[in-house]
Amino acid sequence: MKNKFSFILILTGAVLILSALFLCLYNIIEDKKSGENAAQVLGVLKKEIVVSEETTEAVLPETTDILSEKTTAEAEMLEKQVENYSYIGYISIPKLDIELPVMSSWSYAGLNISPCCYSGSAADDNLIIAAHNYSSHFRRISKLNSGDEIYFTDIDGNVYSYEVTSTEIINGNDASAMYNDDDNSWDLTLFTCTLDGRNRITVRAVKADA
């Protein structure tokens, strides 16, 4: 009886270890795939967006029929369709050496490709961007410190410069805490899940010229 119980424990342990290894391998594969997908989309966006070195005005190619305007009050942000998804631009974080496209709206399927606009817009100074905790996406944003630079380039070619003001951990169930407070303290928010998925690593930033 004792030997049988020991065998069951060993077997259970082996199954748990194999499951953990499989999950780890799956996450690594998904991380790599997401990084490759994001890089492909970024390449398409950069071919469509030409930013003047002297101003932030864009020179768009003649294929403007593939662009669609938001009809909401979100500063008439333009979107670029790449395959089955729409994008509003791309984000650059020099300290982390990452540059990623930003999808126009968030979904679980979309997050597997690139960071997504969770809410707001850059022009309205309330942009919130969410991304998976992939090494190729937002895993390292907790390393950002006050004063670090973040740039967002929209489809219209406007470049928005930000400086990090703070990093905080927000309870994953407290969605309201992600938004601006009464003082409108932030112009940009980035967030991703912690490894256990219970909380959100949240980076706040303001316009560099503010």
Average pLDDT over the chain, rounded to whole?
80
- Which residues of 27-148 form beta strands (DSSP E)? 67-69, 78-82, 85-93, 98-103, 116-119, 127-130
Tens-digit pLDDT profile for residues 95-106 = 999 999 999 999
Residue 57: which residues within 8 A CB-CB, separation 6 or more? 157, 158
Tens-digit pLDDT profile for residues 111-158 = 999 999 999 999 999 999 999 999 899 999 999 999 999 999 999 899
Question: What pLDDT shows up at residue 197?
Answer: 84
The more confident residue out of 174 and 65 is: 174
Tens-digit pLDDT profile for residues 163-175 = 999 999 999 888 8
Rounded to whole angstroms, the Cα distance separating 40 from 32 reads 13
* Whether this model's pTM surpasses 0.85: no
Paired sense of beta strands 159-171 and 127-130, if any: unpaired
Residue 189: which residues within 8 A CB-CB, separation 6 or more? 127, 128, 129, 178, 202, 203, 204, 205
